[in-house]
Amino acid sequence: MTLDIAPSGQACGATVRGVDLRGPLDDATVAQIRGAWLEHKVLAFPDQVLSDDELERFTLRFGPFGNDPFFEAIEGHPHIAAIHRTADETSSLFADNWHADWSFQEHPPDGTCLYAKVIPPVGGDTLFVNQQAALEAMPEELRSRIEGRIAVHSARAAYAPDGTYGQDDAVDRAMRIVYSDAAYATQQHPLIRVHPETGAQTLYSTAGYIVDIEGVPDASSLLRDLWRWQTREEFQYRHRWERDMLVMWDNRCVLHK
């Protein structure tokens, strides 16, 4: 099988056609998809009518399930969470800041799959930002400030009892979020990492989950400068959703919001 892969023309991202994700995929097709994923970092598969079982089966062709500590799963599928909101919901927008999924874990997920079942008539785009490109173009002065530095990650700002989605969250939030004291835990990761599959150096995560930088007295100032650089428009890809579209992205080298 030969896939039809159309790059987005932006800083990352591509659309993949010519494959039906409902059935079992042979090793050669999986290898093609993985190669495209590593090259383009974000892949969109339009016109895929998937059941929950089929979504899980596709995901498992690229690695084991991760652990989602602060989401309630949908019934019968412990590894699928529903990311949604009602039309008249007053709660704050979910995940409306730049982040890599679950970077506060010791072993964060390599990738994420998100499948669109219902989309709004206006808005609802997801933005991605290429962290390999951001590092490659980074001014030497800023790079020298982060070289060798270790960032401290935590979920506390979002999922702790006093976090954004904690005990004072809006009562009408449709998405099932489970806040917990476990969100106060911290985990360390280098600000610059080597991608384990491509060998490319890349920035890793930003203000969404980073709460400190080891050995930096004014870490907040450095984080602000880093955030301004790594989220610049020239490194971004704006994804516009369609119903029945599956998107998979590489958390190791892109941020999203």
- What are the tens digits of pLDDT across the range 5-19? 999 999 999 999 999
pLDDT by residue (tens digit) across 195-252? 999 999 999 988 789 999 999 998 999 999 999 999 999 999 999 999 999 999 999 9
Structure confidence at residue 141 (pLDDT) = 98
Put simply, whether the predicted model's pTM sits higher than 0.95 gets the answer yes
Token pair of 2 as six digits: 């030969």
